[in-house]
Structure 1
Amino acid sequence: MSFKIAIIGAGSVGFTKKLFTDILCVPEFKDIEFALTDVSEHNLQMIKAILDRIVEANRLPTRVTATTDRRKALEGARYVISCVRVGGLEAYADDIRIPLKYGIDQCVGDTICAGGILYGQRNIPVILDFCKDMREVAETNVKFLNYANPMAMNTWAAIEYGKVDTVGLCHGVQHGAEQIAEVLGAKSTQELDYVCSGINHQTWFIDLRLNGRPIGKDELVAAFEAHPVYSQQEKLRIDVLKRFGVYSTESNGHLSEYLPWYRKRPDEITRWIDMSDWIHGETGGYLRYSTETRNWFETEYPQFLEAASKPIDRAKRSNEHASHILEALETNRVYRGHFNVKNNGVIANLPQDAIIESPGFVDRFGINMAAGITLPEACAATCIASINVQRMSVHAAISGDIDLLKLAVLHDPLVGAVSTPEEVWQMVDEMVVAQAAWLPQYAHAVPAARERLSTSQVKTREWAGAARRSVRSIEELRAEKAALKQAG
């Protein structure tokens, strides 16, 4: 087989390498072309050198090209994968820093809440540019695989306004299944069958079977509470399991910021989170982790390049969906996964226009979703609250309507639990002004927002959050990795 895959945001080094090696685990794909594109020439050349080394080490005919000219990379592409973070870590820092001034403490801030909504405002105009290029220069029936957050908003915009065949992909379901298999004593996830459905980052294991035996709420609660690690790291998630009756795919930190109950007061935050790793609820945890990861890669790049000289081990192919979807589409080897698509009746008690995440099967005919699913009422209610925020956020990003943007943020569950309407209006003004370079659709609104900020009487505070940690130095990271290696 010979076709072209374009990866936008290919400077996301670790993830691009994983996708690349996963795809090359499919024997039929050895003769394809990967076209890498990114706004950073520096990052682009670093990842190209790594991928070239992999091709050379495995003696493959695979072609790798790299260009900052996105349109050139998309020419003739059959598949386009997006891993972009518009605004990079600079804009992301404002997604965390500014809401903290108004009492909004986020762990990740990339899905909804104040940070996720503004992230979507930055991404959506760029995604529509991607779609325009794909319609004009890619293969006629190009498929767009979106990995970038905020997943639902980006996918919604690409389908509804970009008019490109799009699927959103995430690994939350797989990670949740791995946890469940572990607490139930399974040897692997192969022993676990499940139906997981909802919306991205709020997906629910509504049917669980271990070697064919149904697993109920009480057994699952007992298994998690008995686990020596998860009982401490996933306290909030276990509490939701007890109250809702089903387990959520999302980590303690992620789930905490989609709900109005657990992060609205500092003392409550420290009660429910765990500081053993960022993902369990640390204030700005993912921002710190992302910053450290980027610094580590820049400093230790020779090690990454050396590691790329090893042969590809097909047994270590990851459970990321992309390679399996491409394999099913091109070879007709059927693949079952969980995909983000427009609802259109798949989940009966969620809005039809929403982007849902639910089981589907892939073959030569495309992605075929399993329809007729009904979520437990509490799960549906939680998802609908987020869907309403997502819908307003997408419409605001398309129209550049700052008043609609403010209403979207106001209706966010956690924002509404913490901030007053006056605080929300000022916070959005402040975020739009700070991120104006990445928000072209709001250029007309920036002068008035800046003027309102100069005369505002709304008080803010400089607050690091309930559980903030400083970015660690390279020396600290080296010492920690050495200690872990010695202990393990």
Structure 2
Amino acid sequence: MTALAQKMNAEWGANMTIRGTANRREALPNADFVVLSVQVGPREKVWEMDWKIPLKHGVRQPYAENSGPGGFAHTARNLPLMIDIARDIEELCPDAWCLNYTNPLIRLTWAMHRYTNVKVVGMCHQLMWGYTIAMAILADRYGVEIPPNFNVHTNYANKKYRDPVMAAGFKHLDIKAAGLNHFSWATDIRDRATGEDLYPLVRQRWLHEYRKDFEPYSRELFEIFGLMPTPGDAHIEFTQWTHDPLAKPWEKYNIELQSWDGNLVRRADRRQLARDVVNGKLPVDTLKNQPTEYVPEIVEAITFNDNFYYHQLNLPNHGLIPNLPDDAIVEVPGVISGFGIHGLAMGPLPEAIAEMCRRELAYSSLVVDACYHGDKELALQAMLLDPMVNDIDRARAILKDFYVEFAEYLPQFQP
């Protein structure tokens, strides 16, 4: 990656100084910004085990990344490293802004706020799936072609169908959403050029006119609770209606699992692209106009006081959503400038949606404390708040297997 960045720098005449190191303490002194995207354990292998271990005990998760029993294991593995990095930031660059892209985003960002003094904001791209859903429903209005049987699943094989619709959605629409990371709800949908309120049209079309099999679980939640969930069916892992072995909601709603093999292909393709550019097999300009995770824009906004609006920031609540806990990490739009990173006050969520968020936050708060302290009693209490777990012995068995399977990655839980 260092060679790739240096080649881009040279060919594009960016005049930056680029160095690479495998020792973060060499990179951190006096840094103004720190970007975190880390993973403990081989990503796809441990993620698949996060899904398979609970399944062995009768808990079938829809995603197993950010909530559910798998979300506990994911937090437990990544949290010690995140705290270690935060301690180094406190020592070596205490004024730096930390942009965290590591999942489970709510929990790890919350842990850094709770246990360190680092200025950290959680960053994610998931709201783009909300843009994709809305554009699929409004496609004829904007002349956008939608493939047959289109869905917004995150699998790599779906990327070539999903990304053009996503890009069109972001070009033509403006969505305000509030809630939790991977569990946010659209509160406003407008035409980006004219400001026309499109929410009534999205509601009418999706609930009454559009394909019934298009993101059917999200559609049902929209119909029941009154706001459009933005993540898409595959990523809604925070509700208690996705795992019942009798109802089999994964069949009813056709909720696909993440493709771990597909993820491996995606990573291999990206690495090969980087190698081909470095080795001269592809021109550097191949990398122009790629989708961004908005690190450059945020760095520039703070450095040059650009007053940059971003639609999805994960920050301590402090009244941004008044019917959620004040210290919790919530997801809202916000403005980045020389004054810092500040969320927009979004007002209260509908009470039923707020209660779903509060339950997830209560659970996540205990998970953070359990994984920070290595407290197995607290871990069991947290697991029993999980909406997917309905048996005490099952919770104990899942945790026991996690502690054994991931022992090398969970030092805080070892004797």
TM-score band w.r.t. shorter chain: 0.7 to 0.9
Alignment of structure 1 residues 172-321 onto 2, 5 Å: 172-185=126-139, 187=142, 188=168, 189-210=170-191, 211-216=194-199, 219-223=202-206, 226=209, 231-255=212-236, 257-265=237-245, 267-273=248-254, 281-283=255-257, 285-297=258-270, 302-303=275-276, 305=278, 306=280, 309-311=283-285, 316=289, 318-321=291-294
1:388 counterpart (357, 362, 372)? 362
Residue 414 of structure 1: SS of its match in structure 2?
coil
Alignment of structure 1 residues 368-379 onto 2, 5 Å: 368-371=342-345, 373-379=347-353
Change in 2 beyond 3 A, CA 1:219/1:67: closer
Once the 2 structures are TM-superposed, how far is the Cα of residue 319 of structure 1 from its aligned partner? 4.9
Residue 47 of structure 2 is aligned to residue 92 of structure 1: yes
TM normalised by structure 1 equals 0.73
In structure 1, runs of 5+ residues without a counterpart are 1-46, 274-280, 445-488
Once the 2 structures are TM-superposed, how far is the Cα of residue 227 of structure 1 from its aligned partner? 5.0
Equivalence for 2:147: none
Once the 2 structures are TM-superposed, how far is the Cα of residue 99 of structure 1 from its aligned partner? 1.1
CA–CA distance in structure 1, aligned partners of residues 266 and 55 of structure 2: 23
Change in 2 beyond 3 A, CA 1:132/1:213: same
Residue 232 of structure 1: SS of its match in structure 2?
coil
Equivalence for 2:156: none
Residue 378 of structure 2: SS of its match in structure 1?
helix
CA–CA distance in structure 2, aligned partners of residues 58 and 64 of structure 1: 14
Contact 1:339 1:360 (8 Å CA) reproduced: yes
Contact 1:51 1:308 (8 Å CA) reproduced: no
In structure 2, runs of 5+ residues without a counterpart are 143-167
Residue 284 of structure 2: SS of its match in structure 1?
coil
Equivalence for 1:130: 85
Change in 2 beyond 3 A, CA 1:317/1:327: farther
Give deviations 1:299-323, integer Å, cap 9, x for gaps: 7764464576323776x25352322
Residue 285 of structure 2: SS of its match in structure 1?
coil
Q: Partner letter of residue 112 of structure 1? A: S
Once the 2 structures are TM-superposed, how far is the Cα of residue 78 of structure 1 from its aligned partner? 0.9
1:58 counterpart (12, 24, 40)? 12
Residue 384 of structure 2 is aligned to residue 410 of structure 1: yes
1:114 counterpart (69, 74, 77)? 69
Equivalence for 1:327: 300
Equivalence for 1:27: none
Residue 388 of structure 1: SS of its match in structure 2?
helix
2:408 counterpart (420, 425, 437)? 437
Equivalence for 2:150: none
Contact 1:393 1:408 (8 Å CA) reproduced: yes
Alignment of structure 1 residues 71-86 onto 2, 5 Å: 71-86=25-40
Give deviations 1:139-170, integer Å, cap 9, x for gaps: x4100000000000010011111210000001
Once the 2 structures are TM-superposed, how far is the Cα of residue 184 of structure 1 from its aligned partner? 2.1
CA–CA distance in structure 2, aligned partners of residues 317 and 300 of structure 1: 13
1:362 counterpart (304, 317, 336)? 336
Q: Partner letter of residue 388 of structure 2? A: L
CA–CA distance in structure 2, aligned partners of residues 202 and 335 of structure 1: 24
CA–CA distance in structure 2, aligned partners of residues 312 and 329 of structure 1: 29
Contact 2:316 2:328 (8 Å CA) reproduced: yes
Aligned residues: 382
Contact 1:217 1:241 (8 Å CA) reproduced: no
CA–CA distance in structure 1, aligned partners of residues 274 and 299 of structure 2: 30
The alignment's C-alpha RMSD in Å is 2.4
Residue 214 of structure 1: SS of its match in structure 2?
coil
TM normalised by structure 2 equals 0.85
CA–CA distance in structure 1, aligned partners of residues 402 and 351 of structure 2: 35
Residue 125 of structure 1: SS of its match in structure 2?
helix
Contact 1:342 1:353 (8 Å CA) reproduced: yes
Once the 2 structures are TM-superposed, how far is the Cα of residue 61 of structure 1 from its aligned partner? 2.0
Stretch deviating more after TM superposition (155-164 or 323-332): 323-332
Equivalence for 1:425: 396
CA–CA distance in structure 2, aligned partners of residues 216 and 62 of structure 1: 44
Give deviations 1:363-389, integer Å, cap 9, x for gaps: 110112222511011211111111011
Residue 207 of structure 1: SS of its match in structure 2?
strand
Change in 2 beyond 3 A, CA 1:74/1:99: same
CA–CA distance in structure 2, aligned partners of residues 288 and 317 of structure 1: 24
Contact 1:336 1:361 (8 Å CA) reproduced: yes
